[in-house]
Amino acid sequence: MSKSAKKGREVFSFSLMSDQRDEFAAFLRRSLRADEQIKAERSAKRKPGRLKGRLIVDPAFFEPLSDEEVKELTGE
C-alpha cells in the first residue's frame, strides 16, 4: 500500500486480486446503503413537532435551580 499527499488530504492506493476487488466493491455498496439508511432514520427522528401534544413540560422546569439542587446535580 502506498500513500501520497494530494491537496492536503491523504490518498491511499492498493492492489487487489479480482475476487478481492469484487468483495471489496460489494462491501462498499453495503456500507453506502447502510449510511443512507442511517441518515434517513435520523432525519425522520428529528422532525419538528413530532411530540407536540404528547409531551407536557411543567412550568417549574424553567425556574432556576436552588443552590441545593445544583450541588446535588454536580456532586458537590
The 10 Å Cβ neighbour count of residue 73 is 9
More confident residue, 8 or 72: 72
Model confidence over 4-62: pLDDT tens digits?
Answer: 455 567 777 777 788 888 888 899 899 988 888 888 777 766 777 877 888 888 999 99
CB of 13 closer than 8 Å to CB of 1: yes
Dist. CA 37–CA 34, nearest whole Å: 5
- pTM, 2 dp: 0.35
